[in-house]
Amino acid sequence: MIDRAIPLLYLAAAASFILALKWLSSVPTARRGVIVGAAGMALAVAGTLMKPEIESYRWIAVAFVAGTAIGVPMAMMPMTAVPQRTALSHAFGALAAALVGTAEFYLRAPAIDRFIMGALVLEVLLGFLTFTASLMAFGKLQEILPTRPITWRNQNILNFTLLGLAAASGAYLVARPDAIPLFPVFGGLALVFGVMLIIPIGGADMPTVISLLNSYAGLSAAAMGFVLDNKLLIIAGALDGSSGLILSVIMCRAMNRSFTNVLFGAFGQVQATAGAAGEQRAVRSATPEEAAGVLQAASRVIVVPGYGMAVAQAQHKVRELYDALTKAGVDVRFAIHPVAGRMPGHMNVLLAEANIPYDRLVEMEEVNSDFPQADVALVIGANDVTNPAARHDTNSPIYGMPILDVDKARTVMVIKRSMSPGFAGIDNELYYLDRTLMVFGDAKAVVGNLVKEFAGGT
């Protein structure tokens, strides 16, 4: 009976994971995707707990309580900290895979066949390197570690040597699983390589790297599936591995960067110098009252949300502004840049949370041709994704990144607290245009005032 129930539960779990990924890829079905994915995981855990080889549930219960105690507070972290949170989850997942692989090695060696040993080596290599690399990525994003890239001469040679040594000792272990003392050396090399991999990468590239580490953790879990002869792990790991890789490619494309450039380019270093070179130039600033006056005269407004809107949690005030403008007959749309914010889909999630209708959200490629007809481009806490330097300044670190053409609107209104740069650490020439009005202040407070002033004036 149990023998038949477990494969059925696993099959249902695998189908749920595939459906979850499909539904997660569009905003209207994303909630359903999350629920189905979580239900699939519950089925997978239930199936595994039914396995007859489990002798006692005592330690499993301890792990369950400990996991819940860590997982629940992690889930409560604010939206803006999602990249860090994801890095931590990858670190734990990868460590679990590497430790299972280590335990299997010591339980079975030297009687391990070549294929299984090959999978085990891959599992442990990817697991340990992802563990330390993800912790480093977490440290950089949380600013516990310096976010700038740390580079030195021949660094790539050293890193490749480390990886080469780890791969060579892994290959030796596949040929000679009886070389038991070599195993800790192999694991140690993978752990050190994970640290070295992240040291030269700047904080600006961390979200892309995290997505790549997601892929490694998935591949490690798939390899674990072969070691443990667990088909569900193979399926789930392969889905995780491929989706992480696809996401990294999408993010690199949206920033016009190549993978090798992200991994070996030391991106953040250019930004630091570029940011420091910015000289003092005059800008036109406006009060919320003056800004509301401009909005009253507008009939087409394109709102450009960015990271600042997320930090300020201004999405509900933005919804109030949307309602007020729409009520006054203004056509309001939201321009969505693929890497606005700190994770893909960041803006979509926040605007959906504030119940802004999906059909008002327009992707970059589609909305860019509409900016010249817009009376106002209202930039709320977005910076890099609106910087015209990306189009023409070959020395800019964001040169070539596709941007939202807000500078083509009749009036540009920018809400931010100061003249501080955005994620890439560079000045934004948009702010110095004659038709740009800077409305300084916290996004939530400024948008709130705009709503009041706008309503008062209509």
| Residues acting as catalytic residues | 384
Is residue 442 a contact residue for ligand NAP (CB under 6 A)? Answer: yes
Please give the distance of CA 135 from its chain centroid, rounded to a whole number: 15
Is residue 397 a contact residue for ligand NAP (CB under 6 A)? Answer: no
Which one, 90 or 346, has the nearer CB to ligand NAP?
Answer: 346
Alpha helices in 25-79 (DSSP H): 27-49, 58-75
What residue type is 82 in one-letter code? V
- Annotate each residue in 7-46 with x if it binds ligand NAP (CB under 6 A) or - if it does not, as one string: ----------------------------------------
Quickly count: other Cβ atoms within 10 Å of residue 55's Cβ.
7
Cβ-closest position to ligand NAP: 422
Is residue 308 a contact residue for ligand NAP (CB under 6 A)? Answer: yes
- Each as own residue / partner, the long-range contacts of residues 298-301 (CB below 8 Å, 24 or more positions apart, any chain) are 298/330, 298/375, 298/376, 298/411, 299/329, 299/330, 299/331, 299/375, 300/330, 300/331, 300/373, 300/374, 300/375, 300/376, 301/325, 301/330, 301/331, 301/332, 301/333, 301/374, 301/375, 301/376, 301/377, 301/378
Judged by CB under 6 A, which of 123, 384, 405, 407 binds ligand NAP? 384
Adjacent-strand bridge partners of 331: 300
Is residue 383 a contact residue for ligand NAP (CB under 6 A)? Answer: yes
Which one, 322 or 431, has the nearer CB to ligand NAP?
Answer: 431
Is residue 449 a contact residue for ligand NAP (CB under 6 A)? Answer: no
Q: Least distance (Å) from ligand NAP to the CB of residue 369?
A: 20
Q: Least distance (Å) from ligand NAP to the CB of residue 105?
A: 37
Which one, 257 or 333, has the nearer CB to ligand NAP?
Answer: 257
Q: Least distance (Å) from ligand NAP to the CB of residue 424?
A: 5
φ and ψ at residue 378, rounded to 5 degrees:
-100, 100
Which one, 96 or 413, has the nearer CB to ligand NAP?
Answer: 413
Q: Which of 250, 231, 253 is nearest to 242 (CA)?
A: 250
Provide the 8-state DSSP code for 142.
Answer: T
Which one, 120 or 141, has the nearer CB to ligand NAP?
Answer: 141
Q: Which of 254, 249, 272 is nearest to 202 (CA)?
A: 272
φ and ψ at residue 331, rounded to 5 degrees:
-85, 115
Q: Restricting to residues 200-219, name those near ligand NAP by CB under 6 A.
A: 204, 207-208
Is residue 420 a contact residue for ligand NAP (CB under 6 A)? Answer: yes
**CA distance linking residue 196 with residue 341, whole number of Å:** 27
Is residue 258 a contact residue for ligand NAP (CB under 6 A)? Answer: no
Is residue 340 a contact residue for ligand NAP (CB under 6 A)? Answer: yes
Q: Least distance (Å) from ligand NAP to the CB of residue 422?
A: 2
Is residue 334 a contact residue for ligand NAP (CB under 6 A)? Answer: no
Find out whether 94 and 220 touch, Cβ atoms under 8 Å: yes
Which one, 360 or 417, has the nearer CB to ligand NAP?
Answer: 417
Provide the 8-state DSSP code for 285.
Answer: B
Binding span for ligand NAP by CB under 6 A among 24-32, 191-199, 302-310, 362-370: 302-310
Region class of 425: left (phi > 0), else alpha (psi between -120 and 50), else beta: left
Is residue 266 a contact residue for ligand NAP (CB under 6 A)? Answer: no
Tokens of 155: 């660094």
Is residue 245 a contact residue for ligand NAP (CB under 6 A)? Answer: no
Residues in the interface with ligand NAP (CB under 6 A) total 33
Which one, 417 or 435, has the nearer CB to ligand NAP?
Answer: 417
Is residue 443 a contact residue for ligand NAP (CB under 6 A)? Answer: yes
Q: Least distance (Å) from ligand NAP to the CB of residue 313?
A: 8
At 411, which helix (H) or strand (E)? strand 411-416
Is residue 381 a contact residue for ligand NAP (CB under 6 A)? Answer: yes
Q: Least distance (Å) from ligand NAP to the CB of residue 390?
A: 10
- Contacting residues for 326 by C-beta, under 8 A, at least 6 apart: 332
- Contacting residues for 259 by C-beta, under 8 A, at least 6 apart: 212, 248, 249, 252
At 331, which helix (H) or strand (E)? strand 331-336
**CA atoms lying within 13 Å on the CB side of residue 81:** 13
Q: Least distance (Å) from ligand NAP to the CB of residue 434?
A: 21
Is residue 162 a contact residue for ligand NAP (CB under 6 A)? Answer: no
Is residue 316 a contact residue for ligand NAP (CB under 6 A)? Answer: no
Is residue 393 a contact residue for ligand NAP (CB under 6 A)? Answer: no
- Contacting residues for 410 by C-beta, under 8 A, at least 6 apart: 374, 375, 376, 435
Is residue 227 a contact residue for ligand NAP (CB under 6 A)? Answer: no
Q: Least distance (Å) from ligand NAP to the CB of residue 13?
A: 29
Which positions lie near ligand NAP, rule CB under 6 A?
A: 204, 207-208, 251, 255, 306-308, 311-312, 339-344, 346, 381-385, 415-418, 420-424, 442-443
